[in-house]
Amino acid sequence: MAALVLFGGGGDLAMRMLLPSLYFLDHEGRLPEDLKIIGAARSEETADEYIEKVRTACESKARADDVWDEATWSRMKARLDYLAVDATSAESLKPLKDKVGDGDVTSFLAVSPSLYARIVTAMRAAGLAEANDRVVLEKPVGRDLDSFREIDDAVSDAFSESQVFRIDHYLGKETVQNLIALRFGNTVFEPLWNAQNIDHVEITIGETVGVGDRWPYYDEYGALRDMLQNHMLQLLCLVAMEPPSDLDPESVRNEKVKVLRSLRPITHEEAERVTVRGQYVGGIVDGETVKGYDEERGQPSDTETFVAIRADIDNWRWAGVPFFMRTGKRLPEKRTEIVIAFKPLPHSIFDGREGEPQANRMIIELQPEEDISLTVMNKKAGLDAQMQLQPIKMSLSWGFRDKTETPPRRRIAYERLLLDALNGDSTLFVRRDEAEQAWKWVDEVSQAWSDGNVKPQDYVAGTWGPDTADMLMARTGRDWNTIDVRD
C-alpha cells in the first residue's frame, strides 16, 4: 500500500486545493490503485466527520467543472482516513506509522512553515522518513536565507535531497510548462531568444484580492517574499535559462540555478532607482469600495503589498536586457503574464503612414486565461495607395486550435504537482540550491531597502501600484504592456 499523508489535512490549502486535486486525478484514473489518503491534523474529529468535509470541498469544485460523479467519490472515499495528531511529536505520530505500515509514504506538509523542522524531526523518529518515503514542502520555506537553511538542515537530516519536493505551485500551471515546450520544442524562437533580438522582458502577477485576514502571515513576508522570491523568480528562470541537455530534473534545475546566480545584486544606492515598494490604501476594486492594508491590519505597517523590480541577468545571452517584474494585491485585474518585447525595427520603410510598425511581442498569459500569442504587423486589406499596417495577434495556444472545441478543463496547478510527487519526478520542484540562490538575491533587495530606509509608497486600491512603478519603466523609455491577448 502507498500512502499520501496530508499534514494540515483539514486546513485551507488541503480543502481548497489538495483534496479537490486528488478528486480530479482519481476521476481521470491517475491515482495508484492502492493509494490511501490520510488527513492528519490537530483537530479531534472522527474519520467520518473528516470525510464529510472532504466531500463538501471536492463536490463544490467538481460540480463547478461538471465532473462530479458518485462513482469517483466512492473510490476516493474508500481511500480516505483521518488521524488526530500532534505532528511535532514522534510519540503522537506512531499510530500514523502503524496505519501506513511498510508501504511508501509521501507526506505533504500543508502547515505553517515554522513547524517544518520539528515535524520532519518527529517523522524521522517515528519511521516516516524511510528510504522510499518523500516529503512535500509548501512555500515559503523560511523568510530569508538563514531561516531557510535552518529548516532545510532539519529536512536534510531526515531525508535525502531526492526525497524532498519543494512546491512552487506556479510550476504546475499548464502555460508555464508550455513555455518549456515553446522554447525547446521549436527551432523558430530559440535563435531570437537573446539580447540581439529582445529589448526587454516583463513579468506581471496582478491580483485583485487584498490581504484580508491573512495579514498575520502576510505582514511578516510582504510581496517580495510571498511572490517574488518564488513564483516570479521561477518564471524568470524558465524564460531566461539555457536549453537543458534533456528534461531530467537535474538538467533543468542546473540551468535554473545558473540564471539565479547571474542575477545582478541590487545595492542600496540603486534600490530607489530599480525597485518600487508599495502598500494599498482604500479604493475601489471590481466596483466595490475596499479598505487599505493598514485598516485591515488595524495599525500601520511597513510591509509592502506591491513590488516592482528591474532585474539584470549578467550573462552573454541577456547582457543589457532588463527584466521588469511587478506584483501586488488590490490591483485592477487578476492578470499574470510574461511579455517578451522584441526590438523595434532597425529602420522603418513605412515612415509617415498610418499604422506605424510596432515592435513584435510575445505575450504568455497564465491568468485569467491560458494563452500564448505573438503580435506581428500585417497589411490592412484594401486598395489604399499607401500600404497601411496593423498589428494582429497570432494565437499559439492549443485551446484556440479549433474555436468550436470545448477548451480543456482548467486544472488546479496542484494536480500536476501531486501526481509528480507521487511518481517521484522532481523536475517541477525547487532544488535546495535554487531556493538558496533565490533567497540570497531577495535578501540583498530587502537589505538594500533597510539600508536605504526605503518605505512602501501608498497606491490607491484598484490602480497598478505607485506612480514610481510606471517611472521604473519610463525612465528607460519603455511602458508596461497594455495589449490584452484576448482583444
- Residues engaged in binding ligand BG6 (CB under 6 A): 207, 226, 336, 367
Question: Residue 221, class by beta-carbon neighbours within 10 Å (0-12 exposed, 13-18 middle, 19+ buried)?
Answer: middle
Q: Which of 27, 200, 231, 268 is catalytic?
A: 231
Least separation in angstroms between CB 229 and ligand BG6: 10
Question: Nearest 5°: phi and psi at 466?
Answer: -60, 155
Three-state DSSP class for 339?
Answer: strand
Q: Which is nearer to ligand BG6, 367 or 457 (CB)?
A: 367
Contacts of 8 (CB under 8 A, 6+ apart): 14, 41, 109, 110, 111
**Using CA atoms, how far apart are residues 79 and 290, in angstroms rounded to an integer?**
43
- Give me 185's grid cell: 520544442
Residues in the chain: 487
Shortest Cβ 226–ligand BG6 spacing (Å): 5
140 close to 225: Cβ distance less than 8 angstroms: yes
Contact criterion met (CB below 8 Å) for 175 and 365 = yes
Note the helical H segments in 299-431.
Answer: 413-423
Task: Report the alpha-carbon distance of residue 290 to residue 123 in Å, rounded.
Answer: 43
- 231 is known as an active-site residue: yes
Give the shortest CB-218-to-ligand BG6 separation in angstroms.
Answer: 7
Query: Measured from the CB of residue 207, what is the shortest distance to ligand BG6 in angstroms?
Result: 5
Task: Give the shortest CB-150-to-ligand BG6 separation in angstroms.
Answer: 21
Which of 26/207 has CB closer to ligand BG6?
207
Closest to ligand BG6 by CB, 226 vs 370, is 226
The alpha carbon of residue 344 and the mean position of all alpha carbons in its chain are separated, in whole angstroms, by 31
For residue 141, the 8-state DSSP code is -
CB of 450 to ligand BG6, least distance (A): 22
> By Cβ distance, which residue is nearest to ligand BG6?
226
Residue nearer to ligand BG6 on the CB measure, 21 or 360: 21
Query: How far apart are the C-alpha atoms of 243 and 252, rounded to whole Å?
Result: 8
**Distances, alpha carbon 332 to alpha carbons 205, 210, 261, 485, in Å:** 11, 11, 34, 17
CB-count exposure of residue 367 (10 Å: 0-12, 13-18, 19+): middle
Quote the DSSP letter at residue 475.
T
Give the span between the Cα atoms of 411 and 58, in whole angstroms.
Answer: 14
Q: Which is nearer to ligand BG6, 223 or 311 (CB)?
A: 223
Measured in whole angstroms, the distance separating CA 458 from the mean position of its chain's CA atoms is 25
> Which of residues 104 and 168 has its CB atom nearest to ligand BG6 in the complex?
168
Q: Which is nearer to ligand BG6, 199 or 337 (CB)?
A: 337
Least distance from ligand BG6 to the Cβ atom of residue 249, Å? 22
> Which residues are part of the catalytic machinery?
231
